[in-house]
Structure 1
Amino acid sequence: MSILYHPGFVGLPVWTGPPNVSPKCRKRVCNGAFTDWGQGAVESLEMALHTTDPRVIFRGKTVQESIRSQVQEMVVDQGPDAKVPSAVTLHVLSLVRLVQRMRTILPNVKSIPQWMYRDGKRIRGRVVDVPDGDNFIMLHTPLPHSMRSHPQTDFSSSTFKERMDRSIRVRLAGLDAPEGPFKGGSGQPFYREAKEFLEHLTLDKEVTIELVGRDRYSRVIAVVYRGWGPFRFNVNAVMLEEGLATIYWGINRQFGRHFHQFKRMERRAREAGRRIWSMPRTELPRDYKRSLLQAEAVQRKLVKAEAKEKKAAKRRSSRKSDRGGQTRSQHRRRSVSESSRQERPRRTV
């Protein structure tokens, strides 16, 4: 019966008496306090729902209309002096809890609070784009599809900033898929297969992500699930088991509670020689990216040194043209002799 004394809901009685009073007595006293609760409950519900999205439909009505009508009918049926039973209180509080979850829509990564990462919370969403084999973009959709009245966001003509402000970019925790064309490279083998397989599992489908952390690129690191009940499966583990990804050992690696499961899935794929493990020498995606970045850094240094040499040669040629084609030492001797000749006094007769 602790829900009867919930302090976060305005209008419900809270036990403030001596702590040694029995729960049965507390229940009797609090039920008596429900005598003039009717209108206060409606006002409290209105306060709790003032930011609810009016486009959200629940059982043929907006959420505000649905809960407000149920409470008003309850007060009319019971009369102004009736005591509201505990079961009805529990029902109303559960509806308020449901509404609060409905109205909490997370539009982007910045809107996810840190405590959700710390507690490993799960959120549902619909995947709208899959850039590569270990990333996807999703919209947070807490309502089931049949109860959702707002249209899905179309990203076909959006800029990158608009897309990031209206969506959540997710990095699959604990794994690294083959890299695509990057910094002039042609991409790793099985890059396209990994991307298409992740699209097959998640694109235009409802997924549940378990929040693990956030990386330096403002992406949510998460463990992804598909399906319901006994048919639910771990997308991260499936990618590893199919040999389309390896365990990520780079910076900011996070596995949540699934490190041993991921190691077991990767070992199975390696022993079976699937996909990337079927090659004679498997280059890890992070090693491939590091080699391309090192090659790019060397090329950048060469270009910078060449530009510096050209600039120095141009400076030398401009100075030589100012001296009339003479070397620096010749020009210095000539300038010294001219200055001494000009300063020499004339002899008087």
Structure 2
Amino acid sequence: MPWPKLWSSSIKVEADSEDSLSTNARETLDSAKQNATETAQTIQRETARAVPSQLAAFTQPETIIAAVVLSATALGFARVYKSYLRRIPQATNIKPGFLGRRSLHGRVTSVGDGDNFRMYHTPGGRLAGWGWLPWRQIPADKKALKDQTIHVRLAGIDAPELAHFGRPSQPYAQEALDWLTAYVLGKRVRTYVYKADQYSRVVGTAYVWKWFWRRDVSLQMLKAGYATVYEAKSGVEFGRATEQRYRRAEWWAKTKRKGMWAGKKGDYESPREYKTRHGVGAPQEGTK
């Protein structure tokens, strides 16, 4: 009786098992691939349906109008801030396009001579919060005001000269300084600026409120007799005022013997004559 061939049967079973496993693996792999393909196709179809519907919300007239209005409003606020609410620290920061077209609102922080002062620019005034909002206060310390004020030369007038660079003071120079200090120091002023001069100042007409009237500082100083109409061959800037009005004010002060016109006739020397005698520059607007 021959011995049974157990090992050949075992080998066959193993081969059949391997074939079965290989077939199952292929079927599983094929099924996975098919599922993955179907899933990808399903995602693509859903995305294709969903994206247009989302984009459609942005193409609605209401959405477009709202976006345009918001953008225009933001640009408008930015332009208003840049043109009207941005503070200008010094005269040298004033752009040429601003001169002759716009005015500056601020508070006078110091008076250096009979016809010029320094102001702290407060754009928008009290309506913009200056003076009552905590973050919109005008500095009181001189160090904090350094390089933060605009130097203004009053247009159209000339006041007696104080002592400068070894030159003696003119009669009534201190009185002119005292008058201007009392009239504008600490006051809110609106200054219409016209041009810059060689001393890093702006030439302008300043107005202050006295009771219910807005007063031209230059005109009032002429009436008080502490300034003369600016004399120059060319380039004199009167701005919003007129030369005739200023000359009438000077004539009235002379007639009433106001201020520096109260002295003896013949003792008077105009600021222009004084500067010419001392060789202070050529006659031009802003010379001081």
TM-score range, shorter chain: 0.5 to 0.7
Counting only pairs closer than 5 Å after superposition, residues 151-162 of structure 1 correspond to structure 2 as 151-154=137-140, 156-157=142-143
CA distance in 2, matches of 1:252, 1:276: 26
Residue equivalent to 2:122: 141
Counterpart AA for 1:254: E
Residue equivalent to 1:277: 261
Residue equivalent to 2:148: 166
CA distance in 2, matches of 1:40, 1:242: 57
Given that residues 150 and 201 in structure 2 are in contact (C-alpha distance below 8 angstroms), is that contact kept between their aligned partners in structure 1? yes
CA distance in 2, matches of 1:183, 1:102: 39
Q: CA deviation at 1:269?
A: 0.6
Counterpart AA for 2:69: A
Residue equivalent to 1:299: none
Counterpart AA for 1:273: R
Q: CA deviation at 1:125?
A: 1.0
Aligned equivalent of 2:65, options 22, 37, 48: 37
CA distance in 1, matches of 2:139, 2:76: 27
Q: CA deviation at 1:290?
A: 2.9
Where does structure 2 lack aligned partners over 5 or more consecutive residues?
1-59, 281-288
Identity %: 29
Q: CA deviation at 1:100?
A: 4.8
CA distance in 2, matches of 1:228, 1:277: 25
Aligned equivalent of 1:115, options 74, 97, 103: 97
**Quick one: structure 1 residues 127 and 34, their matched pair in 2 at CA, closer, same or farther if it must change by over 3 Å?**
farther
CA distance in 1, matches of 2:210, 2:74: 34
Which gives a bigger RCO, structure 1 or 2 (Cα 8 Å, sep 6+)?
2
Give 1 or 2 for the bigger CA radius of gyration.
2
Secondary structure at 2:64 match in 1: coil
CA distance in 2, matches of 1:117, 1:265: 26
Residue equivalent to 1:221: 203
Secondary structure at 1:36 match in 2: helix
Compute the TM-score of the two structures, normalised by the length of structure 1.
0.54
Counterpart AA for 1:285: P
Given that residues 140 and 168 in structure 1 are in contact (C-alpha distance below 8 angstroms), is that contact kept between their aligned partners in structure 2? yes
Size of the alignment, in residue pairs? 212
Residue equivalent to 2:214: 232
Secondary structure at 2:111 match in 1: strand
Compute the TM-score of the two structures, normalised by the length of structure 2.
0.65
Q: CA deviation at 1:253?
A: 2.3
Secondary structure at 1:224 match in 2: strand
**Quick one: structure 1 residues 115 and 229, their matched pair in 2 at CA, closer, same or farther if it must change by over 3 Å?**
farther
Secondary structure at 1:38 match in 2: helix
Deviations 1:212-261 (A, max 9, x none): 22212121100111128951111110000110001111374211242111
CA distance in 1, matches of 2:210, 2:268: 35
Q: CA deviation at 1:155?
A: 5.3
Counting only pairs closer than 5 Å after superposition, residues 1-349 of structure 1 correspond to structure 2 as 36-46=64-74, 97=80, 99-119=81-101, 121-145=102-126, 147-148=129-130, 149-154=135-140, 156-157=142-143, 163=146, 165-227=147-209, 231-250=213-232, 252-258=235-241, 259-280=243-264, 281-293=267-279
Given that residues 118 and 212 in structure 1 are in contact (C-alpha distance below 8 angstroms), is that contact kept between their aligned partners in structure 2? yes
CA distance in 1, matches of 2:97, 2:164: 35
**Quick one: structure 1 residues 242 and 229, their matched pair in 2 at CA, closer, same or farther if it must change by over 3 Å?**
closer
Counterpart AA for 2:65: W
CA distance in 2, matches of 1:223, 1:216: 18
CA distance in 2, matches of 1:33, 1:100: 31
CA distance in 1, matches of 2:180, 2:61: 56
CA distance in 2, matches of 1:270, 1:226: 24
Where does structure 1 lack aligned partners over 5 or more consecutive residues?
1-31, 51-95, 295-349
Given that residues 190 and 206 in structure 2 are in contact (C-alpha distance below 8 angstroms), is that contact kept between their aligned partners in structure 1? yes
